[in-house]
Amino acid sequence: MKKEELAIKIGCNIRKTRKAKHLTIKDLAFGADIEYTQVSRIERGKLNTSAYNLYILSKALETNICNLFEGI
């Protein structure tokens, strides 16, 4: 799997979890203390983010970080 494909799959999992919790991108960005434009780029797979950012996003989503890798 190429890194671009991985970024897209992780981004889709983040978006799916965020929507299931009825959060906007801005809500998630605020909870994770990340710029909302960065969260948007992560969700679209346009940004290959750090492990730390995935960790704080998972905490803001109140989910295990492993869930962000579901189906990979």
**Whether 10 contacts 72, CB under 8 Å:** yes
Q: Domain 3-69 belongs to what architecture?
A: Orthogonal Bundle (1.10)
Of the chain, the end-to-end C-alpha distance in Å amounts to 9
Name the average pLDDT for the chain. 96
**pLDDT of 63 higher than 90:** yes
CA distance 33 to 48: 18
For residues 34-38, give the mean pLDDT: 96
Report pLDDT for 60. Answer: 98
Closest by alpha carbon to 16, among 71, 51, 64, 68? 68
Percent of the residues in the chain that have a pLDDT greater than 70, as a whole number: 100
Q: Is 65 exposed, middle or buried (0-12, 13-18, 19+ CB in 10 A)?
A: middle
For residues 33-61, give the mean pLDDT: 96
